[in-house]
A and B are shown apart, each in its own frame.
Chain A
């Protein structure tokens, strides 16, 4: 019984209690509109035909980033067996927007889902050697058990929602 990478990925997301939705490039805007809690910040997507809702601030100042309820940023890769997404760090501030908001909405292209951690590192190795950039392998919400029980949302987002854009 071989599951498709998408099925395996969404099963894993369920296990780590992260929400997910699938959508087409054209309907990304409306999909996001239904999920956004304001104030929202985001970075423009490099997906053909996909746009962010008007309400999303794409050139936020530091104070807006620190106080945003929702942050929308892209993932360049996802790992099906873990439910992980690989977050970007770029001059647009993706790293900051994905980190400071209460809810992080990750936008992922379905074709970027790989099966295993080994597959992911097969892609990350050449990329990091080439561009000397950063990549955050993020799996679920920020969490701690240091205060005696599991609590979500410590320094990072409390909720994670993955929007998978079908190709």
Chain B
């Protein structure tokens, strides 16, 4: 599931032709994400079994493969965002990213037992994800009028979440059809088919905004981080970084739940399922709420939910469903809404880059926070580490609320 790969999303407003709420474009992008997430989560669901049983790969080798491209995604995110803006190729860059991830599924099939081949295919998949996310979110912002951005992102994230939810089920379905838990090639082929459908849907139904020929400042090469020079954008970026810093990571949350309830490992994967369910159910209503009562307020409410999670984890209070509900609510109140906040503060000319800068900042902050939380757990013990995280969330609550007004 989403474990940790901080899902970052960007925002924008429209100053171009105003489209009706939830324009076809948003639904089309949502559909593309849904189908693509089915594809991605199918592979995620069977990857451990494939690597361990199918290929006799060891954890050490897998760790090496995985470590190789953690940083690459961020780099490609910024690069893709810049290219999309520079040459007005948002749809093309997004399509390239989706296409690359689709081909990566065939790459897994073709790589066979080659560790380098598998590493390459997984790297291509991540590069594709890095490339497509900012232009996709930029396209969403350009599809609806500014006051409806929250709803647009909410709907998109709900559809995205439905895909993530269906993916593992689809993988099980393919395995059941094949009658074997080791029919890995069948899952890769099915995953490719879903991804290819996603690309096709993008090509057929997603429209890029054709702005009038831009009076480009011919040689004004403006690096994306130049955006940070404006105070408005900096505040949104700081809020994103702060959110990244106070998110300790799904893995830790689930581990704490599992330990305190002495949950059978049978049930462990269901924790992620529960969070995802809450996320996808709440993303749309909370996006709508954000348009009504203000995005900063909604993000602050998300921080409050996160604070609740940490306090319950620290004290051992609350039930598992309640904690998962709060945790999913936190994601639903912040993920899309944060992107809805980004759009309006970035000139349309650099919107994709702006999204990429915000997403990358949040992702890097998130990396730092999970390391810090791990260290705090080690030194102070889990309860104290949770209190520290709660203090962080309590601090982020008013700050995010203010910065994202």
A binds B: no
Residues of A within 8 A of B (CB): none
